Amino acid sequence: MRHLLLLLTAVGLLCTPRQVHAQTVPDTYIQEGLTNNLVLQEKRIALDQSLLALRSAKSLFLPTTWLEGQYTLAQGGRSIDIPVGDLLNPVYQTLNQLTNSHKFPQISNVSEQFLPNNFYDVRVKTTLPIINPDLRFNRAIRQQQTQLAQYEIDAYRRELVKEIKVAYYSLLQASKAVVIYQNAMEVVQENLRVNQALQRNGKNLPAYISRSESEVQQVESQLQQASNNVQNAQAYFNFLLNKPLTDHVDILQEETDLVMPALLESDVKGREELQSLKLAAGINTLVDRMNRSYRTPRLNGFVDLASQGFDFKVNNKSLFYLAGVQVKVPIFTGQRNQIRIEQSGLEGKAIGLQKKNTEQQLELSAMVSRNNAVSAYNSYLASQKQLQASQQYFRLVDKGYREGINSFIEFLDARTSLTNAQLQTNIQHYKVLAALADFERQTASYNFK
């Protein structure tokens, strides 16, 4: 059934004319929207955050150096008694007797407290990871996440371009509707003047005057509503561009016909959503590999350049360095690592299913969008034929009414039919352009400059 629908759509496109009277959106407005839109600015901040996270992940491979110092004052606490006097005084006494002198005085026992008093310890500490697979996987994951943020920005940019185009077409449609109602106003006002002149000459009924005045009031109301639609469309368009809602919008004159492709290809492989899911699968693979690397020992090196002593003295005895390595090998973790591995495996399966489902949804959306474009174009062609018939019919009835051949009711019916045909053609005209903008979005075919 799906292939049959594709074939029928292709045949329908091949059999229809290939020209659509188009109005292009000025590139300046699209560029303003891509630069100034608030949501897009917010997403760019998220990208900047991802870039900073990547820089942080890369910096973990570099040595870490910092200054660390402390100074302590202490009194009391545990102490150790050292019997220096008891050990040396007998020796000193014997030496004094042998030398018949007092060169060796008696000394007292010493009691040294454990807590250092008036003691400083200043170190310049440096650590460096030697073996740590987590750092390598973390850097790769951050790189993928940065690209993921970029894809999210690109996806919103495409959506914003479509919204800007559709909003611009809505503004053009509303503006043209105002012109149509203004032309209708001239017709009904002229009709009112004709009926008033005929009544003054005794050739018309008062009811015709009342009906003509009612027609004028009705068109005035429609014209006012159309003017409000222009203001609303202008406000929304400026909102997308992050500009004051009442800013003037340049409406370009209609350009040459747009050549519509003979066969629209609904290829969705370029959609950022699919690229994001591919990246998500890659990130999950990295997470799984990181979880499986838990058996690899973590090895770090460290170096301390330091000085410590009492009374802030710095000399050869206070200066020292301390270097070494630290190793960490997991022995038992309660199977937490195995659970993480199973979780990443299930997450990978879920991402695969999500990718397949998203791809089918995008293909469906592209097919529907293409069919809508074809349907809108065919409706536009039909509305053009209806407009031509209404214009011809109105000219005949208007001439006949002025000559007294056609009735007033026929004139009103012809005028209403003409206005409705003009409005319908206007609507279908911009429906085609909006449908093409949507198809451009669904197939990610807009080329960013």
> CATH number for the domain including 237?
1.20.1600.10
pLDDT of the chain, 449 residues: tens digit per residue? 333 333 333 333 333 333 444 456 788 888 988 998 999 899 999 999 999 999 999 998 999 999 999 999 988 888 888 888 888 888 888 888 888 888 888 888 888 888 888 999 999 999 999 999 999 999 999 999 999 999 999 999 999 999 999 999 999 989 889 988 898 888 888 877 877 776 676 665 677 778 778 888 888 998 999 999 999 999 999 999 999 999 988 887 554 454 555 556 678 888 999 999 999 999 999 999 999 998 899 999 999 999 999 989 999 889 999 999 999 998 888 889 899 999 999 999 999 999 999 999 999 998 898 888 888 888 888 888 998 999 999 899 888 877 778 777 787 888 888 888 889 888 888 888 899 889 989 988 888 86
Check whether residue 274 and residue 148 sit in a common domain.
Answer: yes
Q: Is 447 a domain residue?
A: no
Percentage of the chain exceeding pLDDT 90: 42
- Looking at the structure, do residues 90 and 36 belong to the same domain, yes or no? no
60 and 87 together in one domain: no
CA distance 267 to 366: 8
Write out the two tokens for 73. 């004052």
Tell me whether residue 358 is in a domain.
yes
239 and 110 in a common domain = no
Give pLDDT, residue 351.
93
CB 108 within 8 A of CB 57: no
Structural domain harbouring 100: 79-115
Task: Please tell me whether residues 109 and 244 are part of one structural domain.
Answer: no
Single out the residue in 92, 115, 138 at which a domain terminates.
115
Q: Are 138 and 177 in a shared domain? A: yes
- Is residue 370 domain-shared with residue 390, that is, in the same domain? yes
The reply to whether 123 falls in a domain is no
pLDDT of residue 262: 54
Tell me the pLDDT tens digit for each residue of 47-60: 999 999 999 999 98
Strand partners, 111: 81
- Residue 382's alpha-carbon distances to 15, 21, 142, 169, in angstroms, are 15, 14, 55, 20
Residue 309 lies in a domain: no
Beta-carbon-side half-sphere exposure of residue 442 (alpha carbons within 13 Å): 25
Tell whether 235 and 106 lie within a shared domain: no
Q: How far apart are CA 157 and CA 47, in angstroms?
A: 14
User: Which pLDDT does position 286 carry in this prediction?
Assistant: 93
Task: Answer yes or no: do 103 and 229 share one domain.
Answer: no
Contacts of 262 (CB under 8 A, 6+ apart): 13, 14, 18
Q: Rounded distance, CA 134 to CA 145, Å?
A: 16
Measure Cα distances from 353 to 114, 343, 349, 366 in Å: 66, 16, 6, 20
Instruction: Yes or no: say if 119 and 308 are a contact pair by the CB < 8 Å rule.
Output: yes
Residues 228 and 292 in one domain: yes
Flag whether 435 is in a domain.
Answer: yes
The answer to whether position 88 is within a domain reads yes
3-state DSSP of 29-84: HHHHHHHHCHHHHHHHHHHHHHHHHHHHHHHCCCCEEEEEEEEECCCCCCEEEECH
Q: What is the dihedral of CA 101, 103, 104, 106, to 10 degrees?
A: 80
User: Is 328 domain-assigned?
Assistant: no
Phi, psi values for residue 443, rounded to 5°: -100, 5
- pLDDT computed for residue 96 by the predictor: 85
178 and 214 housed in the same domain: yes
- Asked if the structure places residue 140 within a domain, the reply is yes
Judgement on whether residues 106 and 169 belong to the same structural domain of the protein = no
- Total number of domains constituting the chain: 2
